[in-house]
Structure 1
Amino acid sequence: MNWRIAIAYSMTVIAWGSAFPGIKIALASYSPEHLALLRLLIGSIGLVIFAVAKRIKLPDLKDVPAILLLGFLGFTVYHTALSVGEKTVSAGVASLLISITPIFSAVLAAVFLKERFSKMGWIGSLIAFSGVAVISLGNGGSLSAVAAGVLLILIAAISESCYFVFQTNYLNKYGFIPFTVYTILSGTFFMLFFLPGAAAEIVAASSSATFAVIYLGLFPTIVPYFAVAYMISKAGASEATSSLYLTPIAALIISWMCLGEVPSLLSLSGGILTLAGVSFPLWKEKRERARPIKEMAVRGET
């Protein structure tokens, strides 16, 4: 790993990890729907400027319905559900719940794209979902409110999984950065439904909450996508996305430093179970791939 890739990894983990406490800070003055709207709106303005500067072409007309749907799932539903969920779920715990996204993605790919989902994948899924159950019990507060928050964050994870799974053909056609621009703009378009009342909240909001919204729009919404695109081009998709498993750790540390949130021992135990379940199939797959190479080395083959 050279220093450029190391910087890209760090930017991705810190930017996405900081989004969860950033949402919590912004929710002190903004409603979840206005927070999601303003975050995407700020990000879209930055992306439009970038698209014009880089002369990114418009998508083909026949692909617009699919791009709109993927933008709706990957950004409108994801950001709205996550923001509402964090009203009752702590920032660190929310990041642990979102980390289950790869499991949902693997299941969707197996069902709709006929990709193989191994026995280890199902075992990992059971471990991860048992972790989600433990997290729910250890989050404190009203059980019904916490359960609703956890459910909404899981809906956010499912919608993001749909976005990741069904974008493949369009990524190959348009490239990672142009397609991301298309879908973020599409997601923002659907968020305009929440525009009434946003101006009044901006006027009444605290400066810290407004700064958090601006930060969320400019950094976690934009920067990590370009960093991941760079990592994919240099290190491959598998290595690039593996950095996402460090996001909950960054979120927990930043939440502790900025919000004073200290997750309960039960929530942390559930988080460890969730991350173990998500990473277990990948660890098993890498181990199996490495086995023939080790056997060749023992035999002295090259």
Structure 2
Amino acid sequence: MLSGIIYVFLATVLFSSMDVAIKLTGGVFNPLQLNFLRFSIGALMLLPMSISKLKKANYKLSKKDYLNFIVLGFIYAVLSMSLYTFSLEYVSASIASVLFCCNTFFSIILAAIFLKEKTNIFTKMALVICFIGILVIINPLNINEPVFGIAIVIISALIFAVYSVYGKYVTQNKPTGGIVLTCYSFIFGSIELLILILISKIPLVSDFLISKNAVDFANIPIFSGISSDDIIILLYISIFVTGVGFSAYFLAIEKMSVAMASLTFAIKPALGPILASIFLKEELGSYQLIGIIFVIVGSIGIIISQRNSAKKDSLLA
């Protein structure tokens, strides 16, 4: 249980720092370019550890495993992250970041349906408190964001929830745990993104996208436009946020329930503004401070509830 909480904390801190890191680049990266690069570098970093883990387990990946990795890479890197990136054309980054954290609630529902994971009443109450905190942070009564953009973010969050639950399902009773799953899904996701980037460079496709004002998706660069000053931030996002962060997230799922691991995205809306305040000197409003308190209280409630459930299960075993 303790190791699972440590993994959740590590993933939360790393994920919450991503928006701050991107802002520090001043928007120099094309969104899909950044996704391709960070997934590629993150996968390469995790590959030696993945191969080592498979050798120790004396396990050879099957065709079914590769198929699952291809599907997972498509679900997350291509669908979820591309939709999330596309949503930024319509809604602010802060609102998109907070709304994306709704995947916590989708994950719990899907895990209950497909993985038969049970969530006790105290955990549900704590999640409601977190949800109230998220609503307070985004202040929906005073939000000036297009409904279309908000809908895209929520769909992106739902798809990520599918990725999380499907990821746990395909790794059950297999040595292809969090690191292997993350590594290979990133490899295939990167390949799929590269294919889309190359397609965007076809003159006919590029001209069509430009005519539809989808400039960010036309003639997408791969390496051009990156200065030496931005490489450190790119490596941080790729190695730590993407590689280490997602490995910690899936290791947390291995150690505990999806509900507990998804606490990562329940805390992120509270931690993100705090990190932005520290590193970007952004001021925290009264609504954000109140919302952060709700999220912290709810998160503590989830941890206590899940820990008590784990103790109860060990006594019954």
Q: How far has the Cα of 1:225 moved from its partner?
A: 3.9
Q: How far has the Cα of 1:220 moved from its partner?
A: 0.7
Determine the C-alpha separation between the residues in 1 that align with 2:151 and 2:46: 31
Determine the C-alpha separation between the residues in 2 that align with 1:253 and 1:133: 17
Determine the C-alpha separation between the residues in 1 that align with 2:133 and 2:268: 17
Q: How far has the Cα of 1:46 moved from its partner?
A: 2.7
- The aligned counterpart of 2:282 is 261
- The aligned counterpart of 1:300 is none
- The aligned counterpart of 2:192 is 190
- The aligned counterpart of 2:13 is 14
Q: How far has the Cα of 1:222 moved from its partner?
A: 0.8
Determine the C-alpha separation between the residues in 2 that align with 1:224 and 1:55: 20
Q: How far has the Cα of 1:108 moved from its partner?
A: 0.8
The 8 Å contact of residues 85 and 149 in structure 1, kept in 2 or not, is answered as yes
Q: How far has the Cα of 1:203 moved from its partner?
A: 3.1
Does structure 1 residue 237 correspond to structure 2 residue 256?
Answer: yes
Counterpart mapping for 1:29-108 below 5 A = 29-48=28-47, 50-51=49-50, 59-85=61-87, 88-91=91-94, 95-108=97-110
Q: 1:277 to 1:228 in 2, by over 3 A?
A: closer
Q: 1:132 to 1:253 in 2, by over 3 A?
A: closer
Amino acid at match of 1:89: S
The 8 Å contact of residues 40 and 190 in structure 2, kept in 1 or not, is answered as yes
Determine the C-alpha separation between the residues in 1 that align with 2:61 and 2:190: 17
- The aligned counterpart of 2:206 is none
The 8 Å contact of residues 16 and 220 in structure 1, kept in 2 or not, is answered as yes
Counterpart mapping for 1:284-295 below 5 A = 284=305, 286=307
Aligned length: 287
Does structure 1 residue 214 correspond to structure 2 residue 235?
Answer: yes
Q: Could you list the per-position Cα deviations for residues 32-75 of structure 1 after superposition, in whole angstroms to 9, with x for gaps in the alignment?
A: 22221222122233334555676766621133333222222233
With normalisation by structure 2, the TM-score equals: 0.68
Q: How far has the Cα of 1:229 moved from its partner?
A: 6.7
Q: How far has the Cα of 1:107 moved from its partner?
A: 0.6
Q: How far has the Cα of 1:186 moved from its partner?
A: 2.1
Unaligned stretches of 5+ residues in structure 1: 294-302
Q: How far has the Cα of 1:223 moved from its partner?
A: 1.6
Q: 1:175 to 1:129 in 2, by over 3 A?
A: closer
The 8 Å contact of residues 101 and 158 in structure 1, kept in 2 or not, is answered as yes
Counterpart mapping for 1:86-235 below 5 A = 88-91=91-94, 95-117=97-119, 127-137=129-139, 142-144=144-146, 147-171=147-171, 172-173=173-174, 174-192=176-194, 193-195=196-198, 196=201, 197-199=219-221, 202-205=223-226, 207-227=228-248
Structure 2 counterpart SS, 1:143: coil
Q: How far has the Cα of 1:17 moved from its partner?
A: 2.2
Amino acid at match of 2:185: T
Q: Could you list the per-position Cα deviations for residues 143-199 of structure 1 after superposition, in whole angstroms to 9, with x for gaps in the alignment?
A: 32xx55544443333222112212234223223322221211122122111244444
Determine the C-alpha separation between the residues in 1 that align with 2:168 and 2:39: 23
Determine the C-alpha separation between the residues in 1 that align with 2:11 and 2:313: 33
- The aligned counterpart of 1:299 is none
The 8 Å contact of residues 21 and 258 in structure 1, kept in 2 or not, is answered as yes
The 8 Å contact of residues 100 and 156 in structure 2, kept in 1 or not, is answered as yes
The 8 Å contact of residues 89 and 150 in structure 1, kept in 2 or not, is answered as no
Amino acid at match of 2:157: A
Q: 1:292 to 1:77 in 2, by over 3 A?
A: closer
